[in-house]
Amino acid sequence: MMQRMDLELTTEQARAVWQLRRRHPGADVRVHGRPWGVIVELRRHGHTVALAGVDADGLQLPDRRVGAAA
């Protein structure tokens, strides 16, 4: 499934997305813009298989603990 996105990635962010795609060939890629960078989501068969936060310099942000849902 191909979706059109109106989000322009930096060259470094695009490289980070490419590296994630290499680890998950065939997965659908969704990129969600945030003020600090982007969240890259890779999905396969309707399920998320990988998530990564990537800042404007293309650095993958470390995982952080997510609090309980409200």
Task: Report pLDDT digits (tens) over 30-45.
Answer: 988 888 888 989 999 9
Cα–Cα separations (whole angstroms), residue 44 to 11, 27, 28, 50, 65 = 25, 5, 6, 9, 24
Please tell me whether the overall predicted TM-score, pTM, comes out greater than 0.75 for this model. Answer: no
- Tokens (6 digits) for 12: 């470094």
Q: What is the pLDDT of residue 42?
A: 92
Name which of 55, 53, 24 is nearest 39 in CA terms: 53
> Would you say 54 and 14 are in contact if contact means Cβ atoms under 8 Å apart?
no
State yes or no: pLDDT of 61 exceeds 70: yes
Task: Name the residue with tokens 């490289």.
Answer: 15
pLDDT at 55 over 90: no
Q: Is the pLDDT of residue 7 over 60?
A: yes
| Mean pLDDT computed over every residue of the chain | 82
